[in-house]
C-alpha cells in the first residue's frame, strides 16, 4: 500500500489501522451520518412544533406556560451538547457517543408515545375553564420522556457533524474542499428532517392522533441507529483525546500560580514543549506559539528545572496553552450570535400560535398549525443547493475566496436578515390582531417572517459549522461544536426569561402583552423588542468580527495566530517579534 493513500491525521479504520483514503471516509462514510441526522431532526421537530399544542390541549397548561416549557426543553437539549462533547472527547469518542445517545433518544420517544397512548398518564379533557391540571405523576412521566430526548439530542448533535467532518482529510486539498460541501449538505439534511417532521408527521398527528405522531419517529430513530452502525466499515475514527476542560483548567491554574510567583514572559523567555514529533495530547498535532493572551504563556514557563515536566498541574506545554487560546478566541463570536437563537425559539412557539389563529385552508385541505414552519424548512432546502452550486462560483469571482464568503461574513448576513424577519412578524401580527375577521386572514401572511428567518438560519448555521470546526484544534472539535450548539439552548432559555419579564412588566397574563388569548395579547410589541435586540446584536457582532484574529492560514486570519505545525523532537518555543515563535533546544 502506498503511503500517499493513508490519511495524514492519524484516523483509523474499524480494525484500528491507519485509514486508507480509497476505502474509508469522504462521501463513503458521511451519507450514513446524514441519514442519522435526518431521522433525529425529523423526530425533534415533530415534537418541538406541536409540543405547545400537546401541553395546552392534552396536559391542560396555559399558552404562556406551555411556551416556556417548550423553550426550556429546547434549551436543555442544546446546552446538554456540552456534556455530550465532554463524554466524546474524554471517554468514548464521537462514534460511540452518537450510537449510545441515539438509543437514549429512542427510549425517550417510546415513553413519549406511551404518555400519549395511555389515558392514565394524561389529565381529563378540558371541557370548561378552569381545567383539571395534570398530576405530578403524569407531568413527571412526560417530563422524564422529554428529558431523555433532550439528553439524546445533547449527545448526538455535537458529535455527528464533527464526526462527519472527520471523514475528510484536511491535508488533502480535494477532501478539504469536500468537507465544506459536507457542511452545506449536512444542513440540507437538517432541513429535510425538519420538513418531514413539520409536514408529514404533524399531519399524521393532526389526522391520526398523538400516538401515531409520536410512534412513527420512534421507529425511525431505532432505524437510524441500525443505519449508523451499518456504516462502520467506511468510517474513519479518531481516539478520544482526553477532557479539554481539564487541560484548560490546568493552564489557568499554572499561569495564575506562576503569576503570583513573579514569573514574567519576555521575548527571550523559553516556553516548554514536549520532546516528540506530536504533542502530548493524544492524537493532536503541535501548535506554534502566538503572542495573543500572553498572560497564559506563564503556564509554559519552567520555574523548577528539577520538577517532573510531565506534571501538567505544574508545567503546561505550548500546544496546551495555545489550545486554550484558540478556545478563548471564539468566545466573543459565540456570544454575539446568541441573540439570533432567541429569535429561532419563536418558530416553534409564538409563530405556530399565530398560525393557529389564521385561515389555513387550501381548497378542502387544512394546513396543520404545527406545519407552518415548513416555509422556513423549504427555504433551507432550496437555498443550500442554490448557494452551493450557483452563488458560490459567482461570489468566488468577486471575493477570491474559495467558499464565496468567509464563515464570518456568512454569519453576518444571517444576523442582518434576522432583523427584518422579526420586523415582518411584528407588522403581520399587528394586522392580524387589528383585523376583526382575523380568522379569514391567510396563514401565508406568515410566509415572509418564516422565509427570512429560514434565510438567516441557512447563512448563520452553516457559517457557524464551518467557523467553529475550522477554529478548533485537534483536541477541541467536539467541544467547539457543542459550544456553538449550546447558544441555541441559551437563546431558548433567554426567550423564556424575556417572555416572563415582558409578562410581569406589562400586567401579567390577565392584562399584559402576552396573555392566554392571543387575540387580546400584544405579540407585535414583543416582536419589536426582539427586532431591536437583533439590530443591536448585529452592530456588536460586526465590531467583534472585524477585530477577530483566527488561526493563520485559515480564512478568518489576520496576524499573530496559531499555525498547526509538525514540529520535530527536541524543541521549545522562544518568543519572537512576529509572535509565531522561534524553535530552540528542549529544556528537559
Following DSSP, what letter does each residue of 20-39 receive, concatenated?
BTTTSSGGGTHHHHHHHHHH
Residues of the chain with CATH 1.20.1250.20: 11-242, 324-550
Q: What is the pLDDT of residues 142-176, one digit of tens each?
A: 999 999 999 999 998 888 888 888 888 877 777 77
pLDDT band at residue 588 under the 50/70/90 scheme = very low
Q: Is the pLDDT of residue 287 over 80?
A: yes
**What is the arithmetic mean of pLDDT over 401-408?**
80
pLDDT band at residue 177 under the 50/70/90 scheme = confident
Q: DSSP H helical segments within 336-476, as ranges?
A: 338-344, 350-356, 374-386, 392-399, 407-434, 447-471
- For the beta carbon of residue 568, count every other beta carbon within 10 angstroms: 11
What is the DSSP code string of 197-254?
IIIIIHHHHHHH-HHHHHHHHHHHHHHHHHHHHHTGGG--B------HHHHHHHHHHH
Residues with Cβ < 8 Å from 166, sequence gap 6 or more? 11, 25, 94, 236, 237, 238, 477
Give, to the nearest 10 degrees, the angle between helix 523-547 and helix 477-505.
140
- Provide the pLDDT for residue 103: 92
270: which strand partners? 574
CA angle 482, 178, 25 (to 5 degrees): 75
pLDDT band at residue 531 under the 50/70/90 scheme = very high
Q: Is the pLDDT of residue 47 over 80?
A: yes
**What is the arithmetic mean of pLDDT over 308-312?**
85
Distance CA 528, CA 369 (A): 23
Q: Kindly state the percentage of the chain with pLDDT values over 90.
A: 24
pLDDT band at residue 478 under the 50/70/90 scheme = confident
The CATH number assigned to the domain with range 324-550 reads: 1.20.1250.20
Q: Is the pLDDT of residue 375 over 90?
A: no
The grid cell for 531 is 427586532
Q: What is the pLDDT of residues 495-511, one digit of tens each?
A: 888 988 998 898 876 77
- Provide the pLDDT for residue 575: 41
**DSSP H or E run through 76:** helix 63-79
The grid cell for 326 is 484558540
pLDDT band at residue 4 under the 50/70/90 scheme = low
122: which strand partners? none
- Provide the pLDDT for residue 586: 33
Mean pLDDT of the chain, nearest integer:
82
Fold category of 11-242 in CATH: Growth Hormone; Chain: A; (1.20.1250)
Q: What is the pLDDT of residues 408-452, one digit of tens each?
A: 999 999 999 999 999 999 999 998 888 766 677 888 899 899 889
Cis peptide before 130 (omega within 30 of 0): yes
The grid cell for 34 is 446524514
Amino acid at each position: 500500500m502506498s503511503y500517499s493513500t493513508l490519511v495524514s491525521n492519524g484516523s483509523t479504520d474499524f480494525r484500528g489501522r491507519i485509514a486508507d483514503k480509497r476505502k474509508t471516509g469522504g462521501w463513503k462514510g458521511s451519507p450514513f451520518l446524514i441519514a442519522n441526522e435526518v431521522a433525529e431532526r425529523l423526530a425533534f421537530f415533530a415534537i418541538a412544533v406541536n409540543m405547545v399544542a400537546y401541553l395546552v390541549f392534552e396536559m391542560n397548561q396555559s399558552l404562556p406556560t406551555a411556551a416556556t416549557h417548550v423553550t426550556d426543553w429546547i434549551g436543555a437539549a442544546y446546552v446538554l451538547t456540552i456534556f455530550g462533547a465532554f463524554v466524546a472527547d474524554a471517554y468514548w469518542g464521537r462514534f460511540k457517543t452518537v450510537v449510545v445517545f441515539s438509543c437514549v433518544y429512542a427510549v425517550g420517544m417510546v415513553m413519549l408515545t406511551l404518555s400519549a397512548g395511555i389515558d392514565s398518564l394524561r389529565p381529563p379533557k378540558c371541557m370548561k375553564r378552569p381545567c383539571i391540571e395534570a398530576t405530578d405523576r403524569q407531568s413527571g412521566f412526560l417530563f422524564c420522556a422529554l428529558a431523555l430526548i433532550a439528553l439524546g439530542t445533547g449527545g448526538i448533535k455535537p458529535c455527528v457533524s464533527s464526526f462527519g467532518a472527520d471523514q475528510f482529510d484536511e491535508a488533502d486539498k480535494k477532501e478539504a474542499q469536500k468537507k465544506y460541501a459536507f457542511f452545506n449538505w449536512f444542513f440540507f439534511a437538517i432541513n429535510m428532517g425538519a420538513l418531514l417532521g413539520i409536514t408529514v408527521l404533524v399531519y399524521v398527528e393532526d389526522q391520526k392522533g398523538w400516538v401515531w405522531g409520536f410512534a412513527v419517529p420512534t421507529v425511525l430513530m431505532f432505524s437510524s441507529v441500525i443505519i449508523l452502525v451499518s456504516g462502520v466499515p467506511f468510517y474513519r475514527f479518531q481516539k478520544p483525546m482526553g477532557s479539554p476542560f481539564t487541560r484548560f483548567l490546568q493552564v489557568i491554574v499554572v499561569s495564575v500560580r506562576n503569576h503570583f510567583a513573579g514569573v514574567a514572559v519576555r521575548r527571550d523567555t523559553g516556553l516548554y514543549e514536549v520532546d516528540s514529533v506530536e504533542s502530548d495530547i493524544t492524537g493532536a498535532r503541535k501548535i506554534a506559539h502566538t503572542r495573543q493572551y500572553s498572560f497564559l504563556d506563564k503556564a509554559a514557563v519552567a520555574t523548577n528545572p528539577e520538577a517532573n515536566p510531565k506534571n501538567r498541574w505544574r508545567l503546561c506545554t505550548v500546544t496546551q496553552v495555545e489550545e486554550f487560546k484558540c478556545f478563548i478566541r471564539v468566545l466573543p463570536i459565540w456570544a454575539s450570535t446568541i441573540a439570533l437563537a432567541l429569535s429561532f425559539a419563536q418558530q416553534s412557539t409564538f409563530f405556530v400560535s399565530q398560525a393557529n389563529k389564521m385561515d389555513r385552508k387550501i381548497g378542502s385541505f387544512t394546513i396543520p398549525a404545527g406545519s407552518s414552519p415548513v416555509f422556513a424548512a423549504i427555504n433551507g432546502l432550496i437555498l443550500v443547493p442554490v448557494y452551493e452550486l450557483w452563488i458560490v462560483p459567482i461570489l468566488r469571482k468577486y471575493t477570491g475566496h474559495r467558499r464565496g464568503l468567509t464563515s464570518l461574513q456568512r454569519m453576518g448576513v444571517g444576523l442582518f436578515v434576522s432583523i427584518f424577519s422579526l420586523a415582518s412578524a411584528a407588522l403581520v401580527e399587528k394586522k392580524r390582531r387589528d383585523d376583526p375577521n382575523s380568522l379569514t386572514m391567510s396563514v401565508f401572511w406568515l410566509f415572509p417572517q418564516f422565509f427570512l428567518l429560514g434565510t438567516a438560519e441557512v447563512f448563520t448555521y452553516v457559517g457557524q459549522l464551518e467557523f467553529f470546526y475550522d477554529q478548533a484544534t485537534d483536541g477541541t472539535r467536539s467541544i467547539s461544536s457543542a459550544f456553538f450548539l449550546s447558544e441555541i439552548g441559551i437563546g431558548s432559555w433567554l426567550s423564556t426569561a424575556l417572555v416572563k419579564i415582558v409578562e410581569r412588566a406589562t400586567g401579567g397574563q390577565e392584562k399584559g402583552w402576552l396573555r392566554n388569548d392571543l387575540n387580546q395579547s400584544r405579540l407585535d410589541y414583543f416582536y419589536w423588542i426582539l427586532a431591536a435586540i437583533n439590530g443591536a446584536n448585529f452592530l456588536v457582532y460586526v465590531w467583534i468580527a472585524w477585530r477577530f484574529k483566527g488561526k493563520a492560514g485559515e480564512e478568518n486570519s489576520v496576524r499573530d495566530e496559531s499555525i498547526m505545525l509538525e514540529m520535530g523532537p527536541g524543541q521549545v518555543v522562544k518568543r519572537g517579534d512576529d509572535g509565531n515563535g522561534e524553535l530552540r533546544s528542549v529544556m528537559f
